[in-house]
Structure 1
Amino acid sequence: MTTATPAAGLGNPQAAPTPPRKRNAPDPGKRALARTLRYALLLAGVVFVFIPVYVLFVTSFKGVGDASPARAWLLPTTWSMENWASAWEQLAPAIGRTVSMVVPSTIISAVLGCLNGFVLSRWRFPGADIVFTLILFGMFLPYQAVMIPLLELVMALQIPNGVPSLILLHVVFGIPITTLIFRNYFETVPHELMEAAKVDGAGMLRTFWSVALPVAIPGFVVVLIWQFTSAWNDFLFAVFFSTPNNGPVTLVLNNIANGALLTNYGVSMAGALLASLPTLLVYVILSKYFIAGLMSGSVKG
């Protein structure tokens, strides 16, 4: 009598499991081609972005006769620093005024946004969502729509024209974005830290100062870079609330460009590079902290 052998895998504990099917390994040639295309696209993007920078840089070293639209892509026939010296002489006072305006407005708006974000994320009082929505409404309010009444309000309050009024405006209009960033950031902070401080008898201010503020450094980096750049590059407020004698660097740079278009492009190009240098340095120095701060506030932890 013949005994049937059980099929492999059906009631036979000693049957070997079916090996998984191997996926086809990617073709090395295709991977190399994809990598080459990726790097080519990145290189093309970098070249496209740096084309205006190249024109600015080479034109800033050209003389009056050499700086023209027809020779915009050509190197200077004679390299000269006269444009840079002239631009610095005209922009230096404005750069000092801009620093005195940007630094306090950035710090004050960051501190107020941190306080607002902490309260709105940890203190669920009645109407908290409505208050938060009203604060965010300032982000979507076109500045051009309120410029005339805002100018009348500043004049009625007798706030001095120039740096003082610009500090106030950048603080007020910076609160919505700073509040949003800090509220989202504090939402990622573990509630156990706040609860532990509460159990130890700490009030809200003590909890903010001893627990929330030390862990909010990444949020501060994001806010400071954002506010510094926005205030430094602002032109609309500068036109309405200052003059070239007491205004920021953007207003003086505009006057240089209007005059240089008729005589020498090089001065305006050198001035543009000088005016953009502070924000460029801030991004170069703090870029990795900026990305880390954004990512730390994007995921619930």
Structure 2
Amino acid sequence: MPAGTGSIGLEASGPRGPKPRHVFSRRNIFLYGTLIVVALYYLLPLYVMVVTSLKGMPEIRLGNIFSPPLEITFWNSVRITVPSVILSIAIASVNGYALANWRFKGADTFFVILIVGAFIPYQVMIYPIVIILREIGLYGSLSGLVIVHSIFGMPILTLLFRNYFTSMPEELFRAARVDGAGFWGIYFRIMLPMSLPIFVVAIILQVTG
């Protein structure tokens, strides 16, 4: 057999088909560019509506409908809302995950305390919280308000995450344990990627609450 016969046979037996199309061809760039421009055009009224709803009457009367809100009260609300949402959801998700999948001493008692705490009127806790914040030097500060908002949202969010994680197939948890995954490994690699819906619900509740 000639020396080049084997290589020719291998090349001939390879897969055949149409050549792959270039993703960034001129046609695709023009098409996607047009779609983006049209989408932005139709989203512009929504942007104006949202931005205007976040402004006070003095800013609205200035007539610049496209400018973002400039009042310090709005940005104070952002500085309070964003950290409190991140803090409360991060802690509540871990608490709910631990209550749903890990049995530890005092878990039932902790769960009962959460249920009771979720339905206590916040008016009952205002005065003790004011005293505590004054004693630790956070009274009247944005950090103190972040802590208060995080605490108020913690019980109900923990119950939401606990019920959501309980509804997941227990076989996933057991299989991960058999493979040697620990507490944080299961949380970050299995539970967290499957929890986008409940995170969206928790963010909406915490922001609007």
Whether the TM-score (by the shorter chain) exceeds 0.5 is yes
Aligned residues: 150
Distance (Å, rounded) in 1 between the aligned partners of 2:58 and 2:177: 63
Report the Cα offset of residue 222 of structure 1: 0.4
Distance (Å, rounded) in 2 between the aligned partners of 1:83 and 1:117: 43
Distance (Å, rounded) in 2 between the aligned partners of 1:83 and 1:207: 49
Residues 254-289 of structure 1 deviation map (CA, whole Å, 9 limit, x = unaligned) = xxxxxxxxxxxxxxxxxxxxxxxxxxxxxxxxxxxx
Distance (Å, rounded) in 2 between the aligned partners of 1:106 and 1:168: 10
1:110 and 2:89 equivalent? yes
Report the Cα offset of residue 160 of structure 1: 4.8
Report 1:187-266 matches (<5 A): 187-230=166-209
Report the Cα offset of residue 153 of structure 1: 0.8
- Give the match's secondary structure for 1:221: helix
Could you tell me which residue of structure 1 aligns to residue 61 of structure 2?
Answer: 85
Preserved CA contact (<8 Å) 2:96 2:163: yes
- Which letter does structure 2 place at the counterpart of 1:113? A
Could you tell me which residue of structure 1 aligns to residue 140 of structure 2?
Answer: 161
Structure 1 segments of 4 or more deviating over 6 A?
A: none
Task: Give the share of equivalent positions with the same residue, in percent.
Answer: 38
TM-score by length of 2: 0.66
- Which letter does structure 2 place at the counterpart of 1:145? V
Distance (Å, rounded) in 1 between the aligned partners of 2:129 and 2:136: 11
Unaligned runs of 5+ residues in structure 1 are 1-56, 58-80, 231-301
- Which letter does structure 2 place at the counterpart of 1:194? F
Distance (Å, rounded) in 2 between the aligned partners of 1:226 and 1:91: 26
- Give the match's secondary structure for 2:104: coil
- Say what the alpha-carbon RMSD is for the aligned residues: 2.4
Distance (Å, rounded) in 1 between the aligned partners of 2:90 and 2:117: 18
Could you tell me which residue of structure 2 aligns to residue 94 of structure 1?
Answer: 73
Distance (Å, rounded) in 2 between the aligned partners of 1:134 and 1:201: 32
- Give the match's secondary structure for 2:137: coil
Report the Cα offset of residue 125 of structure 1: 2.1
1:170 and 2:155 equivalent? no
Distance (Å, rounded) in 2 between the aligned partners of 1:177 and 1:156: 27
- Which letter does structure 1 place at the counterpart of 2:125? V
Unaligned runs of 5+ residues in structure 2 are 1-52
TM-score by length of 1: 0.47
Distance (Å, rounded) in 2 between the aligned partners of 1:164 and 1:91: 22
